[in-house]
Amino acid sequence: MGMLYELKTLVARYPPLALPVARLRRGHGEVVSRHTDIVIEGFPRTGSSFAVAAFRRAQGRPVNVAHHVHAPAQVIAAVRWKIPALVLIRRPEDSVLSHVIRNPEIPMAQAISAFERFYGPLLPIRDRFVAATFEEVVDDFGKVIDRVNQRYGTDFVSFEHTEENAASVLAEIEEDYFTRDPPGERFERIVPRPSERRLQIKEELSE
């Protein structure tokens, strides 16, 4: 797993390599194409699941969202093709720890390198996409969509970030993950919503 993960994060910055490989990985994200309406991407555990689900719920119509490839190539391709792109970012410590909790087979050092490899290639083009922090996504995602519309001249419907709507999005995410794993230790490690068990593991790993 270590060598394969290392190779994946190394090629993830190159669209001609990373995107065809991502298309072969069935059931893992949606790859950007010329028909994509918006790209929503970030390093794993940066709020991608909430952002994608909330975005789709707000639109009230089918939208072609490229997401969860977790490769900078996805964003680089969107920029080249002039497709709206939203890049999510979280404090490195929180993101890396959550990623390792989700994937305990990945060594901490590799996860740290992967974080840098995701965002490093995006720095030279940071003025050509919209960036949002994890906190902005989970606290007021409507404002994030508004920024996307201002940046690209799009008319995406804003998400009304009420407690009820946010809870509905989290319930939708949890229901989707129930189709992959039964409730239990592994489920609490992987489901992208608040978890007391994951907080406990994070405290154990943080040092």
String of DSSP letters for 50-94: HHHHHHHHHH-S---EEE----HHHHHHHHHTT--EEEEE--HHH
Residues 166-186 have a mean pLDDT of: 78
> Does the pLDDT of residue 65 top 70, yes or no?
yes
Enter the DSSP assignment of 28.
S
Taking residue 149's Cβ as centre, other Cβ atoms within 10 Å add up to 15
Indicate the helix (H) or strand (E) that contains 41: strand 38-42
Q: What percent of the chain has pLDDT over 70?
A: 88
With 0-12 / 13-18 / 19 or more C-beta atoms within 10 angstroms meaning exposed / middle / buried, residue 153 is exposed
Buried b (16+ CB within 10 A) or exposed e, 185-207: eebbbebbbebeebeebbeeeee
Residues 156-173 have a mean pLDDT of: 93
DSSP 127-173: GGSEEEEHHHHHHHHHHHHHHHHHHHT--PPPP---HHHHHHHHHHH
DSSP three-state, residue 46: coil
What's the pTM? 0.90
> Does the pLDDT of residue 36 top 90, yes or no?
yes
The per-residue pLDDT for 64 is: 97
In this structure, which long-range contacts are made by residues 173-181, counting pairs with CB atoms below 8 Å and at least 24 apart in sequence?
173/49, 173/50, 173/53
**Ranges 55-64, 68-77, 103-112, 170-179: which has the least confidence:** 170-179
> Does the pLDDT of residue 67 top 70, yes or no?
yes
Contact 64, 36 (CB under 8 A): yes
Question: What is the rounded distance in angstroms from the CA atom of residue 196 to the CA atom of residue 5?
Answer: 28
Question: What is the rounded distance in angstroms from the CA atom of residue 92 to the CA atom of residue 160?
Answer: 28
> Does the pLDDT of residue 160 top 80, yes or no?
yes
The per-residue pLDDT for 150 is: 98
Contact 61, 105 (CB under 8 A): no
